[in-house]
Every structure is written in structure tokens, then in C-alpha cells.
Chain A
């Protein structure tokens, strides 16, 4: 089973920030938190990852709770091209990767 839980769907208005939550209460000390997104009819693509500290890149920011049992992917200004399914997973060394159903993000013009 997936080690993370996410809301099934979320909506956002265009050009507004979006906060996508993820719970991972069973995370271990060496697990990395990864986010991927899947645009329609495409393969998943990497968005961001982190271990303990908050992370920023050109696509998004990742806020990790102090106890690491939850995290939030932040899209600073949602665009129509950000409409996708977003997956939060735990990446454990030397172990298989199970994806949950993810969060389907709709962006309203």
C-alpha cells in the first residue's frame, strides 16, 4: 500500500497559490519526500523532493513539517498548464515505489 495519503481532488483559481497537502505519518528517518505530477496523456514527471528542510525550485516549493509526518507542495501562481494529477511518495533506498491515487488539481480560468 502507498505510504502517503492525499485529497482526491482540489480546485484553484488561475494565478492564485495552491497548497497541496500530503500525510506520511509512518515516514522513517531516511525516507525522502518526492512529488511528481502527471499531465493528461503523459508520463509522470518529477516536481521536487526533500528530506528535512523546505525546498524551492523553479517549479514549486516543498514545505516539510517539523516532525516530517506531513508536507505541502506549493505552486505559487497556478496556471492552466498546472492542471494535473499530483503524486506525493516516500522514496526509500533499496525499496520498491508504490504510488497512491494522487490529487487531481483543476485550475479555473
Chain B
């Protein structure tokens, strides 16, 4: 059981480049989300999805796009990378209904992104 898988683990981008962070889960979770975590700070929600074809903005969505074409995958796209997007990115997933194990959230191992 792989859980939540993120790729790549490390990436260096030049300002203005675009890239996609991949996230996949094999637990048939409806809810998926992306967080960023700057050094010494907490987790900030970028975008989230409650099912295939449904996405919505979180706290800090600017500069990022998402799509959810399948239940398993939730890629995060950086449109034109900026140094302010240097951060660690975490993908997370869970069931939506409270009756299913209390909606425990599973996190990926993180993707370290540096924009120079």
C-alpha cells in the first residue's frame, strides 16, 4: 500500500519556468489537497478537491493551478515560478465522510522546491 506519493522530491527551477508537482493516492480517497510550508512556518492550504472534477481554492492559491481528472491523481502546476514560491509542498488525502475512520488525513513525504 503506497499511500500518498509525491514526485519529484527535490526540484530547482529558474524564475519564470513552469512545472508540475505530481500527487497520487491509492486509497480511493475523495478529498485531496496541497499545502505549502515555508521555513519555520505552518502549513498553508493552496488548493483542494472533494472529488474528481471538483476543485476549489485554499488560503494561498495565486500562482498555482490544479485539476482532478481521476480520483487517484491531483497534480499541482506552477505557471510561472517565482522565488516567493520556494517552499516545501505537501500533498494530502482523506475520506470525506466523518463516519469513515474520522477522516484521517494522510500526507505525502513532501516536495522541496527552490526557485532561483
Contact = CB atoms under 8 A, between A and B. Distances in A.
Interface of A: 30, 32, 34, 36, 42-46, 49-51, 85, 87, 91-94, 96-102
A94 to B, nearest CB: 5
Contacts of B108: 43
Contacts of A43: 90, 107-110
B interface residue count range (under 10 / 10 to 19 / 20 to 34 / 35 or more):
20 to 34
22 contacts: A32-B98, A32-B103, A34-B105, A36-B105, A42-B109, A43-B107, A44-B92, A45-B107, A46-B106, A85-B42, A91-B98, A91-B103, A92-B98, A96-B33, A96-B45, A97-B33, A97-B48, A98-B45, A98-B59, A99-B43, A101-B42, A102-B42
Contacts, number: 68
Interface of B: 33, 35, 41-45, 48, 50, 56, 58-59, 90, 92, 94, 96-98, 102-110
